[in-house]
Structure 1
Amino acid sequence: MFDFEGDLAPIGQSTVSLLAATDIFFEESYWRDHLCFSWDFHTWRGPEEMSSFLQKLGHGCRFRRVSIDNSGDPDKRPALVSADHYSNIRGVQLYIDIETIPERGRAWWKAFTIYTGLVELRGHAKTIGRRRRSGHIHSLPGTATESDSWQRRRTAQKNFEGDSQPTVLVIGPGQAGLSAGARLTPIGLGDCWRTRYLRLVLHGPVWYNHMPYLPFPVSWPVFAAKDQVAEFLEAYGQLMELNVWSSATLKRANCDGSSWEVTIEHHSEEGGIEVRTLRTHHIIQATGVNGEPKIPRIEGLSDFRGHICHSSQFSSAEPATPTKQIVVVGTGVSGHDIAQDFYGRGHHVTLVQRSPTCIDTTAYVYGQGLYSEDGPAAEDADFLTHSVPLPLLNRREIEKTDQHMIENKEHFEGLEKAGFRVDRGPDGAGRKFKFLQYAGGSYIDVKQGAVARINLHSLLLDDGTKLPADEIVFATGYSSMLATTRKIIGADFTRQLKEVNFALCRYYSKILAPQIKAIEDGIMRYEDL
């Protein structure tokens, strides 16, 4: 019989051996840890890897308290669940609360997998909910001034007046940048942003895309419009009291080893252009998972007499007066959206598909499982989602993709007959895993093949097909996010960074904020990562 608290107790004691890991876990089992037991992200497979880590840990982290979650939340009660899509593997899922020395965390314990994650630093609780600030302003008799008003204090904070300096500089005020700021502010850290562009379109359902602390309204559509989201993000920054600098350009960023000196040019509230030099301990790049727009090098590109642009430069199609021959190269989401825009305006449009595309039907992403109208709160859904080790998630997604292809057989066969090649993703694990591994690749005439050459008024494909064209739009993706990093902080520092595969900002901003707070308070060092 598995004695929950008894079997976990050896982890908190001075002697860490195999601690009966072989008795607790199957030979194929997983422990996924996000900052609860170390200051980095880990997934250990099997009792041997787990024991090896615990032996290295030694006295570094011990339990102060461990107990089954007793919050009363019905979504967190112990329950019989499936570890795979077809319910062939059944197990008990339950939540546990962990308090270590010196942190607090939460874990999802199963006989097959365990996930531990940092919730907050002890002594640095977020000022939210029952711990919210009072909001009162107290002045000595005869000392009250206009500077005591909330509006004046916010202006001073936003402009970093006097000797005030930002602890964290967040570059990019989109969904990720604002999420990072919202996570940092309740634990006592300041931040500011510079704007590059707002081009957010939600291709996932509304339940999946909520912002921290302030979810989208219950009256919103399942798939929110770009401008609708942009207005919400602008209001979000104001309501969350985030120090957002819009219409700003980062001119220079230099690191002296302990802090960054950054020069920013931005439009002041008076309407003029102001150049400020700030010092900050941390820079968060939140400019999007994509880097710079990528157009393939094609012979004859400069000879084309019509209009050429990348999908990132496209705004909208003009009415067909007269009708034009439009060629869109690339069949991802942007390629289809742009082709549909031209088609709706009355133009003749051809999509050029260079390689198979991984797709899902709209119904498949409409709201299912954890992220749905009847699902748990978004942050609880995040906790469950990120607790699943990638090998197990891969197995589930292969099974789900198989079922999806069978249930929508006529749909996919129709696409193939129309000349559209469908990709099942890496190992047949579908669109989600294609994005996780490659960050992309996600009916109007469709032509197969690569573009071999561009002539004065046409494209020539590698199979000899000639496509007349008045305009060409390349929906061919972007370079690595590090290409943008190079522009911001230079090549030397960028070489030290790892490639970014994906960013789910609501969850990872929650993890990043206490990491930065721990560095600021001397609990950890960058070298510990």
Structure 2
Amino acid sequence: MAGGIDMGGYVPPQTLPSFTKHGASLLPTTAAAPVCETWMVAFSAAIAARSIPAILDLLLPDAYWKDMLSLTWDFRVFKGHAGIQEFLEDRLALCEMRDVRMSTALTPSVVRLGELSWVQAVGTFETKWGSASLVFRLVPYLPQGSEGEPEWRAFALFSNLDTLHGVTERVGAHRMEHPPRTSWNERRRREVEFLDSMPTVLIIGGGHNGLMTAARLQYMGVSCLIIEKERRLGSQWRGRYSSLCTHDPVWFTQLPYLPFPATWPSYTPADKLGDWLEAYASHLDLNVWLSSSLQSVTWDAAKKEWSASILRPTGEVRALKIRQVVYAGGWNGVPLVPDVPGKEEFEANGGRVLHSSEYKNANGFEGKKVVVIGSGVSAHDIAQDLVNSGDADVTMHQRSSTLVVSTIALRELLNRGGFLEGGLPVDVADMLLFGWPMDVQKLTMAANTTLMEKIDRETLDGLDKKGFMLNPGPEGAGYLFLVLTRRGGYYFDVGASQMIIDGKIGLKTGGEAARFTPTGIEFSDGATLSADVVIFATGFGAIRENLKQTFGEEFIKGLKDPWYLDQEGELRAVWRDSGKQSFWYMIGNLSYARFYSRRVALQIKALLTGVWDGVRYSIKEDPKEEPHGVNIDLPN
């Protein structure tokens, strides 16, 4: 296994509760419900009494408390008694945390992960701003040298704002009762065109992030406009290679308010997902301007509003005054293509060079010699499609090690988290998943990665024998932290790995593309490959360049990079403070968009209603300290 992956050094050495550490063991017969109920009674009493010592007595000395908006209006992680004590001294009384009780949303359960195990349940509580949930995970604790029965203490808490006081989401029993007795089509036309009012929020990008955020806001009573440069919603999916399917199963890719029907395939074809996004906007009455682009946008600090000019497909430019801007234009910048000398001569000799984003299908590649530069998801999918559909002679160039996990193993992981047929309600499963502090999740993912490697052992051994360079992710933590910090370096195996093992896809490892020859490509290690076509599956740049083109150089100076990790191990700017007032990043895959669209919507709604003044209980960042992690794609 190759190493050398840097996570930025933000994660201190930690251990998960194996219980030998805590001098106690979790018996197979442990009944979770009475354990959780007893702990909750004591915790609720301690909160009601505002007794911080009593609260700390219910937590492990090295416990974590992660808060998402409910007590900090930020995404924070507090570690150990000292960190949690300071947080509670500053926020407990101020936030008026109260009415803590068990929730019926999740049956208390014992969770086992290899040799690790804990008891978990969910509670609810109120604050001065809204209603919140509390995930708590307990282990038996016996201080070193002590005798007697162990105490149950929390090693991880997650407090999370769910709703705002005075804000009723217009769903279910609160849905619209009687539409006005006017033409529905005419009413929708005027709403979509904003003929009678201005939108409060402008959302740039009509992909799944933009649509879910608009839906969340609209059903909290906030007027939104989505602008999308393409002529149809879903074009981002339809425009990719035609064999593309989601690599996450249907239970993990649901959208809020409109779940997929029971007939939906386990893995969604890209074109089908594009059609679903189009239908989603229609069924939820979202306001979308297609074939429209942002021409200019400026912030008026005195009026606390944006002035935006939107170019419509008719050539008309609409001027809008808006309160908030959400960037949902995707997490990729421009395609990255290495500047390899000799390209002109190669193309003049009949060769063809393209980026993976330009590949649609295998038509025209029949019998061609194709070199695919890269070994991430797109590289594998394209190579597999070329062999299956185009009968091409394909060689993959792997420049650095790659994490490989099968969709079978990935599905097993998600099933364990409640994402499966007849599993947990998706909101509950999301809360359990996203409620882990990154530090701890890195360790749970390492344990899960070990289990997934057992499932994939035959494939991984076959790849290793073939010379394919493998890695288990940063410090063995699997694919998740590659997604969050590199946006590359992994492959969800849907069959290409076996094709490499069988020799149907050739493999060249190491070196860099040094120059094109008239008949192919030469590498820095002296190796050469004949090629009719070279496809660079080498990723995309950061989104800052996209933003600079739209908002200008001055705007991005104070803008935080979305994917850096802060000192507490959380993503630094996406879904939270972007560094610019009234500007939000809304970026992520379908599952992240589903969960975090609600968090973004709650923050915006709280600001608009005056429930929140915009002040966060944030990390006191040292301006000299570099953010952790990486923010550019480092493709294979």
TM-score by length of 2: 0.76
Amino acid at match of 1:210: Q
Q: State the partner residue of 2:478.
A: 430
Shift in alpha-carbon separation, 1:11–1:320, aligned structure 2, 3 A: closer
Q: State the partner residue of 1:199.
A: 236
Q: State the partner residue of 2:322.
A: 280
Please tell me whether residue 119 in structure 1 is matched to residue 162 in structure 2: yes
Q: CA deviation at 1:526?
A: 3.8
Q: CA deviation at 1:123?
A: 0.5
1:238 to 277, 282, 286: 282
Please tell me whether residue 248 in structure 1 is matched to residue 292 in structure 2: yes
Amino acid at match of 1:154: R
Unaligned runs of 5+ in 2: 1-34, 138-153, 238-244, 491-499, 564-586, 619-636
Amino acid at match of 1:47: H
Amino acid at match of 1:497: L
Partners of 2:71 and 2:159 in 1: how far apart?
A: 8
Amino acid at match of 1:235: A
Q: State the partner residue of 1:260.
A: 306
Unaligned runs of 5+ in 1: 139-147
Q: CA deviation at 1:6?
A: 4.6
Q: CA deviation at 1:5?
A: 4.2
Q: State the partner residue of 2:552.
A: 490
Q: CA deviation at 1:3?
A: 5.4
TM-score by length of 1: 0.90
1:67-216 equivalences under 5 Å are 67-70=101-104, 73=105, 76-82=106-112, 85-91=113-119, 93-110=120-137, 111-137=154-180, 148-162=182-196, 164-196=197-229, 198-200=235-237, 201-216=245-260
Partners of 1:467 and 1:3 in 2: how far apart?
A: 65
Following TM superposition, the consecutive aligned residue runs of length 4 or more in structure 1 with deviations greater than 6 angstroms are none
Shift in alpha-carbon separation, 1:407–1:364, aligned structure 2, 3 A: closer
For residues 109-168 of structure 1, what are the alpha-carbon distances to aligned partners after superposition, in whole Å with 9 as ceiling and x for unaligned?
232211111111010020111111212426xxxxxxxxx222211111100103x11111
Higher mean Cα deviation, 276-285 or 483-492? 483-492
1:40 to 74, 77, 81: 74
Q: State the partner residue of 1:446.
A: 507
Partners of 2:603 and 2:558 in 1: how far apart?
A: 19
Please tell me whether residue 294 in structure 1 is matched to residue 336 in structure 2: yes
1:349 to 360, 376, 394: 394
Amino acid at match of 1:36: S
Q: State the partner residue of 2:403.
A: 358
Q: CA deviation at 1:521?
A: 1.2
Residue 214 of structure 2 contacts residue 226 of structure 2 at CA under 8 Å; is this kept in 1? no
Residue 165 of structure 1 contacts residue 279 of structure 1 at CA under 8 Å; is this kept in 2? yes
Partners of 2:300 and 2:343 in 1: how far apart?
A: 43
2:64 to 26, 30, 43: 30
Tell me how many residue pairs correspond in the alignment: 505
How many percent identity over aligned positions?
32
Q: CA deviation at 1:490?
A: 2.0
Amino acid at match of 2:274: A
1:402-481 equivalences under 5 Å are 402-442=450-490, 443=500, 444-449=505-510, 450-481=512-543
Q: CA deviation at 1:12?
A: 5.3
Please tell me whether residue 340 in structure 1 is matched to residue 384 in structure 2: yes
Q: CA deviation at 1:427?
A: 0.2
Partners of 1:356 and 1:130 in 2: how far apart?
A: 52
Match of 1:202, SS state, is coil
Residue 44 of structure 2 contacts residue 99 of structure 2 at CA under 8 Å; is this kept in 1? no
Higher mean Cα deviation, 176-185 or 311-320? 311-320
Partners of 1:3 and 1:337 in 2: how far apart?
A: 49
Amino acid at match of 1:232: W
Partners of 1:42 and 1:524 in 2: how far apart?
A: 17
Partners of 1:45 and 1:114 in 2: how far apart?
A: 11
Residue 405 of structure 2 contacts residue 453 of structure 2 at CA under 8 Å; is this kept in 1? no
Residue 250 of structure 1 contacts residue 265 of structure 1 at CA under 8 Å; is this kept in 2? yes
Q: State the partner residue of 2:40.
A: 4
Partners of 1:221 and 1:253 in 2: how far apart?
A: 41
Shift in alpha-carbon separation, 1:396–1:64, aligned structure 2, 3 A: closer
1:512-523 equivalences under 5 Å are 512-523=600-611
For residues 256-293 of structure 1, what are the alpha-carbon distances to aligned partners after superposition, in whole Å with 9 as ceiling and x for unaligned?
221111111123xxxx3332111111111111222221
Partners of 1:125 and 1:65 in 2: how far apart?
A: 20
Shift in alpha-carbon separation, 1:320–1:242, aligned structure 2, 3 A: closer
Q: State the partner residue of 2:441.
A: 393
Higher mean Cα deviation, 112-121 or 485-494? 485-494
Q: CA deviation at 1:223?
A: 1.0
Shift in alpha-carbon separation, 1:10–1:410, aligned structure 2, 3 A: closer
Please tell me whether residue 525 in structure 1 is matched to residue 613 in structure 2: yes
Residue 222 of structure 1 contacts residue 366 of structure 1 at CA under 8 Å; is this kept in 2? no
Shift in alpha-carbon separation, 1:320–1:334, aligned structure 2, 3 A: closer
Q: State the partner residue of 1:145.
A: none
Q: State the partner residue of 2:422.
A: 374
Root-mean-square deviation (Å): 2.0
Partners of 1:394 and 1:381 in 2: how far apart?
A: 18
Residue 17 of structure 1 contacts residue 55 of structure 1 at CA under 8 Å; is this kept in 2? no
Shift in alpha-carbon separation, 1:366–1:80, aligned structure 2, 3 A: closer
Q: CA deviation at 1:9?
A: 4.4
